[in-house]
Amino acid sequence: MTPKMLRIGSRGSELALWQARWVQGELARFHPGLETSIEIIKTTGDRILDSPLSKIGDKGLFTREIEQALLSGGIDLAVHSLKDLSTELPSGLALGAISKREDVRDVFIPHPRNPVRKLLDQAHGATIATGSLRRKSQLLSLRHDVRIVDIRGNLNTRLKRLEESNWAGMLLARAGVVRLGWADRIGETLEPDVMLPAVGQGALGVEIREDDATTARLVKCLHSWESATAATAERSLLRTLEGGCQIPIGTYGRIERSEQGQYRLLLDAVVGSLDGRKLVRGKNHGHPDDADALGCQLADTLLASGADEILNEIRAGSPPA
């Protein structure tokens, strides 16, 4: 039985609404006659814009209020950027679908008056904006001389702040920039071997109530096995490391198919100190069915290789040696 109306919960930023409308459009395409509405819900992360994410915590920062609305029955499903969604969902909630992933890479957006388009070609001591400790750590490992400034807010706000600043540029996720039609602002797209992305970057997570079989059936059309498998490994790694916005962790999972038609899951990861002087990298691969185990294994390898020391120093609030 198909419900008359499916209520979609979303944050109110332009990018979040783009994502919710994309889900709305796909549901209409696969289920003609299904009516949907979008309910805008303001989260803690949307309200507190004058503090770095690392200072205000990361557990449910952009999801808690939406998840509460889902649990209370105020909405039927929630659309999140998967990288915002905790690896431990509240009791009673489940991931109903993970969308086909867009480009996972980060990009450098130069200041409109900055003719130098590439990140590593910026002048000595250049100022680069980012709200991500993951990006900060990896950038400082490549360029100890740059100055990092924290930036928060939606993409429109960040672009405006860049234009009004004397910064050389800023770092963002390519998927969001492209989705909002700002690809022409990109100076350089950074390959994963230069900067590993965030867990789940580029994918959408559709969250539903665990006992809602009707909505679960309807959102199956949004699900991508390949993206979900890669994200499962990445989220398993993050869960094992007990990381989040406050810890610089980058990872990239992807499925490769051999000439013989066999699938293999590849997973790369890095854990870095806040000053970028200490990075621990690792790789793992195996059968896609073992995605969760592969993520756990790689996390254990990173911890044994020195990531535990980095993470303990960060959690203790002391600078790395």
- What residue spans of 3-120 are helical by DSSP H? 14-30, 44-47, 53-56, 64-72
Please report, for the domain that includes residue 86, its CATH number: 3.40.190.10
Binned at pLDDT 50, 70 and 90, residue 306 comes out as very high
In a domain, 198, yes or no: no
In a domain, 195, yes or no: no
- Condensed to tens digits (0 to 9), the pLDDT of residues 172-188 reads 999 999 999 999 999 99
Higher pLDDT, 58 or 35: 35
pLDDT of residue 186: 98
Do 218 and 259 share a domain, yes or no? no
pLDDT of residue 26: 98
Do 35 and 157 share a domain, yes or no? no
Catalytic residue among 50, 58, 76, 84: 84
Decide if pLDDT at 246 tops 80: no
In a domain, 170, yes or no: yes
Mean pLDDT of the 275-292 span:
97
Binned at pLDDT 50, 70 and 90, residue 56 comes out as very low
**Average pLDDT, whole number, for the chain?**
92
Do 147 and 123 share a domain, yes or no? yes
pLDDT of residue 320: 42
Higher pLDDT, 317 or 79: 79
Number of domains composing the chain? 3
Binned at pLDDT 50, 70 and 90, residue 315 comes out as confident
Do 145 and 270 share a domain, yes or no? no
Decide if pLDDT at 238 tops 90: yes
Distances, alpha carbon 280 to alpha carbons 271, 273, 302, 310, in Å = 5, 9, 6, 9
In a domain, 321, yes or no: no
Pairing of strands 127-129, 169-173: parallel
Please report, for the domain that includes residue 252, its CATH number: 3.30.160.40
Mean pLDDT of the 294-314 span:
96
In a domain, 10, yes or no: yes
Binned at pLDDT 50, 70 and 90, residue 45 comes out as low
Binned at pLDDT 50, 70 and 90, residue 259 comes out as confident
Cα 311-313-315 angle, rounded to 5 deg: 65
**Nearest one of 94, 99, 129, 125 to 111, comparing CA atoms:** 129
pLDDT of residue 148: 97
Decide if pLDDT at 317 tops 80: no
Do 207 and 78 share a domain, yes or no? yes
Do 39 and 86 share a domain, yes or no? yes
Binned at pLDDT 50, 70 and 90, residue 262 comes out as very high
Decide if pLDDT at 282 tops 80: yes
In a domain, 197, yes or no: no
CA dihedral 240, 245, 251, 252 (to 10 degrees): 120
d(CA 93, CA 212): 9
Binned at pLDDT 50, 70 and 90, residue 46 comes out as low
Give the domain range for residue 270.
231-316
- pTM, to two decimals: 0.91
The tokens for 28 are 């209409």
pLDDT of residue 60: 63
Do 219 and 86 share a domain, yes or no? yes
Decide if pLDDT at 53 tops 80: no
The tokens for 93 are 């909630």
Higher pLDDT, 52 or 229: 229
Element (H, E) at 98: strand 93-98
Mean pLDDT of the 5-26 span:
96
Distances, alpha carbon 128 to alpha carbons 156, 171, 188, 208, 246, in Å = 17, 7, 14, 38, 19
pLDDT of residue 62: 76
Do 177 and 309 share a domain, yes or no? no
Do 212 and 91 share a domain, yes or no? yes
- Please say if 84 is a catalytic residue: yes
pLDDT of residue 108: 98
Do 10 and 95 share a domain, yes or no? yes
- Whether the CB-CB separation of 52 and 129 falls below 8 Å is answered with no
In a domain, 149, yes or no: yes
- Condensed to tens digits (0 to 9), the pLDDT of residues 122-158 reads 999 999 999 999 999 999 999 999 999 999 888 889 9
